Amino acid sequence: MLPRNSALCLLLLLGLGCTQTPAITITATTLPEYQEQLSALVQSDDPSIALQTLAALMETDSFALNNCHEILHEIGEAALNKYGFVEALSYQDDLCNSGFVHGVIEAYFKEAQDITVSMQEVCVGLPEPSLSAWECYHGTGHGFMLATGTDLDASLALCGEHKNTFEQKACVNGVFMEVFTLDDVSRAYYLPASADALTFCGGITSGRTDCFTYAGTLYLKEHPDDFEGLIAWCSGATDTDRAHCIAGAGSEMMKRSMDNPERVETSCLNAEENLVPECLMGAVTQAVFHTGNSAEVKSTVCRAWSSENKKGCSRAVELIADRYQIE
């Protein structure tokens, strides 16, 4: 879906010309500054301006590209605060793993009077098992964590109230993503020794796969840009848990290096030989979810990878696109 006042506006298509969005200067250098300045555009203009501005930044600013999902959460919350739930979602955009939608849903649940009623309303009408439906129900997991004061057990219980396995799995995935992206004080409730993520996930039963998938988020927060270290760190997990950690590592590395897929491939090749495909699959999945466009991933990520992995990359893209009804 194009933002409301996309450059491909209706007036232009009719041959009548259209007014271009004026250039907007963003001076941010830290995540809070990006979030504040782009959310301010929602107040001064509307969410489409904030989304367009971020999309333009992502073309040239590696920090914006690698942190776009977290930035979009704040833009989504600002949109909900200004417009309310229905109108805020009318600006829905798939940019960067649908981070805007996640932000809207998080903020909506945080203010909900009856969360059990609200959870039945937010994703109504989305076709399953589409990417838009996955991202919406994933967003409910984020929202439950905020609405329950980051109560993990209560959030997982709410995920269990969704009506089918697809919705429940997407929701649980969102819960554990939220666990590992919480601020240090909130996360300390789960991880008193914050580096002990593997031990924490080893004690999880419901959502264990998702816990190990996102555990690497914490490693990279404490060891920024240390992709090779992340791969080695995952070796501390056992058996199938290690495979999920490695797959998550591939996803996290791609999230931070969409502009450098060659580096992600090289880092994945440092994994144990039998786990390299897990890492590469995690990376490709992240790229497809990030763009929502299978052709774009083939022309960027797959084309950049070595000849040994190009075909496997393309096959993985097609598999993911078919599973989640992505063009």
Provide the domain count of the chain.
1
Which residue in the block uniquely carries the two structure tokens 């927060």? 221
pLDDT the model gives residue 183: 63
| 67 vs 75: CA distance, rounded Å | 13
Which residue in 239, 324, 222, 229 sits closest to 278, CA to CA? 239
Residue 249 lies in a domain: yes
pLDDT the model gives residue 192: 61
pLDDT the model gives residue 185: 60
Which residue in the block uniquely carries the two structure tokens 């950049």? 304
Residue 126 lies in a domain: no
Is 180 in contact with 215 (CB distance < 8 Å)? yes
Residue 146 lies in a domain: no
Residue 312 lies in a domain: yes
The pTM of the whole model exceeds 0.85: no
pLDDT the model gives residue 16: 33
Is 106 in contact with 100 (CB distance < 8 Å)? no
Structure-block tokens of residue 145: 């964590």
pLDDT the model gives residue 9: 30
By residue range, what is the domain housing residue 312? 191-298+308-318
Four-point Cα dihedral 105, 108, 112, 114, nearest 10: -30
* 99 alpha carbon, distance to own chain's centre: 6
CA dihedral (149, 191, 257, 24) positive or negative: positive
Residue 49 lies in a domain: no
| 288 vs 283: CA distance, rounded Å | 9
Is 145 in contact with 180 (CB distance < 8 Å)? no
Residue 17 lies in a domain: no
Residue 206 lies in a domain: yes
User: From first to last of its 327 residues, what are the pLDDT tens digits of the chain?
Assistant: 333 333 323 222 233 333 344 457 888 889 999 999 999 999 999 898 999 999 899 888 888 888 888 899 899 999 999 998 768 877 877 688 778 888 888 888 877 778 778 787 888 888 999 988 898 898 889 888 878 888 999 999 999 999 999 999 999 999 999 888 776 666 666 666 545 899 999 999 999 999 999 999 989 988 989 999 999 999 999 989 999 999 999 999 999 898 899 999 999 999 999 999 999 999 999 999 988 899 999 999 999 999 999 999 999 999 999 999 997
pLDDT the model gives residue 94: 65
Residue 145 lies in a domain: no
Long-range contacts of 228-236 (CB under 8 A, 24+ apart): 228/267, 228/270, 230/267, 231/267, 231/268, 231/270, 231/271, 231/279, 232/270, 233/198, 234/271, 235/272, 236/198
